[in-house]
Chain A
Amino acid sequence: MAADKVDPIHQFHIHTLVPIHIGGYDFSFTNYALFMVIVVVIAGGGLYWACVSRSVVPGRAQSVAEILYEFSASMLRDSAGAEGMRFFPFILTLFMFTLVANLIGMFPYFPTVTSQIVVTVALALLVFFMVLIAGLMRHGLHFFKLFVPSGIPIVVLPLVVAIEIISFLTRPVSHSVRLFANMLAGHITIKVFAGFVFSLGTLGALGVAGAILPMIMVIGLTALEILIAALQAYVFAMLACIYINDAIHPGH
């Protein structure tokens, strides 16, 4: 019974809210699906509501929305240049989605959408194929110059090309696992320390006194996790910007 309460994996359980089965596949509306909707509503509604007055001198909410907007814009412009701004709506969507998903996950009892590897893999593959298709559409076969850095001696060129191709193909793996693992590990760590608080708290007066240490730890970790939630959303969007730069400027 107590094992249930302190099970650090319990928080990641998926349960069906509205069962939907099509063609033998389970497309049920789960608690994670609900939170995807909530994330989108908060992120989209927040951005819309903050700037609905369209004032020249911004209020607090509008300032925040503008900062998020300009932050994403400068992130993309700095790494992919002015031509990359075509992808700006996508980057803003990606950044806001991951940021809000990560931050909402910090609320107790709220599932973290980005702690499901299928979600981060899907987003990373979306970026990967978008880069591949945009690069091929824009540069044709010249896009594959990406794998041939200039100024490399012909002797080591095959090796370098092989490394470049491998690193290109493994991008979605590192891209998705970084976000997923950060979210997963952070929430498990918090849960483990919170479990210590609970377990010690049931052991009487001495236990309650001893529970103060893990409690402090949980507070510190929560602060750290909020930082990581924002940071990993930034890293995820930043890497997408860098990959998009490859689609636009394949030559090194």
Chain B
Amino acid sequence: MFVSPAFAENATAASAQSKTTTATQAGHSGPEAFPPFDSTYFPSALLWLAITFIAFYIFVKRVVVPQIGGVLENRREKIASDLRNAGRMKEEADAAIAAYEQELAAARAHAGEIGQKARDEAKIAAEAERRKIEASLEDKLARAEKRIAEIRASAMKDVGAVAEQTASLIVEKLTGGQSSKAEIAAALSSVRE
């Protein structure tokens, strides 16, 4: 250290002198101890350091640390409780969403059920209607067929009489003579056979 030779030089001279010089005045009065190594003031420095440092330590321990520690602890607690609240609210929101989803699914299922039922009912009704119409149509058809058969039968019955008349007229025109009814009927029935 660059101060040590100076110190070594001064220390001997100063140690004798310092008690007198420093008591009267400190400053410019020839060579004296390098102040940081001047042991005259060591007891004073130690005493006042002890007093101030211990006082500061007690103040820090009793007042400062609980105060700032309390502030920081409060903040941590506040943040933690806020986070807890946020978590709780999120859970509530999730539950609400789940309930909504569930209800929506139930409603959808219900709607499907109603639709299916309506479709089934409509189908059944349509089927019944179709059957009824079919039945009535068949009925009408049967009656129509029956009537056609009757008309045809009666028409066929008249054909004989018309043919005899027509045949006698044709014979009369062609031959100019009369022909007996019985002859014509026999001829016709032989043709018709």
Binding site for B on A (CB under 8 A): 3-4, 7, 9-10, 12-16, 20, 25-30, 32-33, 36-37, 39-40, 43-44, 47-48, 51-52, 54-56, 58, 62, 65-66, 69-70, 88-90, 92-93, 96-97, 113, 115-119, 122-123, 180-181, 184
Which of B26, B34, B41, B55 contacts A26, CB < 8 Å? B41
Using C-beta atoms within 8 Å of the partner chain, give the interface range for chain B.
Answer: 35 or more
Chain A binding surface, main DSSP class: helix
Known: A93-B56, A122-B49, A180-B36. A30 touches B41 (CB 8 A): yes
Binding site for A on B (CB under 8 A): 1, 3, 22-23, 25-28, 34-38, 40-50, 52-53, 55-57, 59-61, 63-65, 67-72, 74-75, 78
Residues of A with C-beta under 8 A to B67: 48, 51-52, 54
Q: How far is the CB of A91 from chain B (nearest CB, A)?
A: 10
Q: Name the residue of chain A whose CB is nearest to the CB of B67.
A: A51
Q: How far is the CB of A95 from chain B (nearest CB, A)?
A: 10
Q: How far is the CB of A156 from chain B (nearest CB, A)?
A: 33
Q: How far is the CB of A60 from chain B (nearest CB, A)?
A: 15
Total of A-B residue pairs, C-beta within 8 Å? 145
Q: Name the residue of chain B whose CB is nearest to the CB of A37.
A: B52
Known: A44-B60, A70-B72. A9 touches B35 (CB 8 A): yes
Residues of B with C-beta under 8 A to A92: 60, 64-65
A-B CB contact pairs (8 Å), 29 listed: A9-B35, A14-B22, A14-B38, A14-B44, A20-B44, A26-B41, A27-B47, A32-B44, A33-B44, A33-B52, A37-B48, A40-B52, A43-B56, A44-B56, A44-B59, A44-B63, A47-B60, A48-B63, A48-B67, A51-B71, A69-B69, A69-B72, A92-B60, A96-B60, A97-B53, A116-B35, A117-B36, A118-B42, A181-B1
A33 touches B71 (CB 8 A): no
Q: How far is the CB of A58 from chain B (nearest CB, A)?
A: 8
Q: How far is the CB of A179 from chain B (nearest CB, A)?
A: 12
Residues of B with C-beta under 8 A to A56: 71, 74-75, 78
A26 touches B72 (CB 8 A): no
A115 touches B36 (CB 8 A): yes
B70 touches A27 (CB 8 A): no
A116 touches B45 (CB 8 A): yes
Residues of B with C-beta under 8 A to A10: 27
